[in-house]
Amino acid sequence: MQDSKTLPATRDRLNAFLDQREVPVAHAATGPLAGLTLGVKDIFDVEGYVSGWGNPDKFAEGKVAAATAPAVQKLLDAGARFIGKTQTEELAFSMIGQNVHFPHPVNTRAPDRITGGSSSGSAAAVAGGLADIGTGSDTGGSVRAPASFCGLIGLRTTHGAISLQGTMPLAPSFDTFGWFASDAQTYETVGAVLLGDAVSPALSGRPRLLGISELDELVSGPREAKAYGRMVRAVGEALGPVKAAKPPPFAIDELYWATRRLQAHEAWAAHGAWISVKGRRIGQAIYDRFAFGKTVTAQDVVQDTQLREAFRVALGDLLGDDGVLVLPTVPCAAPKSDSTPEELGAFRERAIRQLMWSGLSGFPQISLPLGTVEDAPFGISLLGPEGSDMALIRLGRRILKAAEK
C-alpha cells in the first residue's frame, strides 16, 4: 500500500471500516451524488487497494487493484466520495455479521444486536452516520437482512442488472450488487445512477399488492406478527390493500434445499480449491458452509436447476407486470449479539425460507425500515417482477413518506 495516513480513529468506534492505509481515490467534483460519502464492501475492487474478502490470508495474498469495479466507479463518477473499505463476513458467506478475524461491527440502531452480514461494515457505517452510502452484495440476503436489522433501505437488484466485474464471486447465479442508505431520496438517486430512471408504467401508479400466508407465518412469534401486521397496514394506506394470493405450487422446504444446494455448489466451485489448502485461516462455520457444496451431486444440480426455473416462471406468472409481493424481510429483529451458535443457526435457517424467493427467481426485492420489535428495527419487503428495481424504490419512498405523516 502507498505510504499515507491511517484511517481516522473516530471511525473505528463501530468497527465498520477496515484499518487500511488511505490511498487517494478520484471522484467527480459535481454530479447527483456530490457531497455524499461512500463506504465500499471489501469484495469490490477499488483502485489502489487490496480486496481481502474478509479473510486475512486472502488479503495477504491479494494484489493492489489496478482498476475500480465498474459499479463502484459509477458512484464515484456521479460525485460520491470514497472514504474506505468496509468489513465483510468471511468470503461473504454469512448473514450474521460476526467475522471471527475482526471486531464485530456495531449496530447503532440496536447496540445489543448483530448488524447482520455479509455486508456488515457498510450497514454499520450507514446506520451509524459514518457514510451516506454503503455498497453491499446480496447472494442469499446480505443486503436485505442487514437493512432490516439496522433500520436501513436495502435492495436486492434484479440478477444481472448491475455489473459485478471486479467483484469477488460467491455463487454467480445468485450474486447481485446492492447498497444501503438511510433516506429514500439518497436511495433513489443512487438507484438512478446505477440503474437508470426508467420505471415500468404498470407499477408507477397503483400496483397489485399480494401477500402469501406461508411467508407471513414465518415470523418468529406474536410480537413480530403484530409488528408485521402494522407494517402491512401502513403499506396498504400508502398503496392500496394487500390481497391474499395462492403461492406457486412448491413446498417451501424443497425451495429451501434447492437454494442451499445450488448456492453451496457454486460457492465450492469458486473457492473450494483455495479453502482446501492446508493451514488456511478460516472460521469453522464458514468452512462447513462451503464444504457442504462438496456433497452436492451433478444430479442434484440438474434437478434443482429445473425446480428453480419452474419456480421462476410460476412466480413471474403470479406477479405479471403489475404485481408486488409484500412479505417480511426476515423473521424478526436482529438476534442478540451474544446469541449462541445454535440460536443464530436456527434464525438463519428460518430466514433463508423468506429471503430465498428473490434469489431463486432473480427478481428484485427491497427492504424498508418501517417497523420495530422491542425498539429494534424490523423491515418489510416488496418483491416485484424482473426489472422493476426503480419502481420498487419509488414505491418504497411513497410508503415511507406516508408513514411519516
Q: Hey, which residues are catalytic here? A: 41, 118, 142
Q: Count the Cβ atoms, other than its own, within 10 Å of residue 223.
A: 14
Q: Which three cell numbers stand for residue 386?
A: 424482473
Integer Cα distance of 224 and 386 in angstroms: 29
Q: Which helix (H) or strand (E) holds 93?
A: none
Integer Cα distance of 121 and 115 in angstroms: 8
Crossing angle for the helix pair 222-239 and 389-404, nearest 10 degrees?
100
- DSSP letter at 6 equals B
Q: Are 146 and 123 in contact (CB under 8 A)?
A: yes
Integer Cα distance of 394 and 378 in angstroms: 20
Integer Cα distance of 240 and 254 in angstroms: 32
Integer Cα distance of 237 and 227 in angstroms: 16
Burial class (CB in 10 A: 0-12, 13-18, 19+), 341: exposed
Crossing angle for the helix pair 341-361 and 252-275, nearest 10 degrees?
100
Q: Which three cell numbers stand for residue 314?
A: 410460476
Positive/negative CA dihedral, 169, 175, 179, 185: positive
- DSSP letter at 182 equals S
Q: Count the Cβ atoms, other than its own, within 10 Å of residue 247.
A: 18
Q: Can you name the residues that pair with 328 across neighbouring β-strands?
A: 380
Residue from 34, 16, 175 nearest 86 by CA: 16
Cis peptide before 142 (omega within 30 of 0): no
The one-letter amino acid at 89: E
Q: Are 131 and 122 in contact (CB under 8 A)?
A: yes
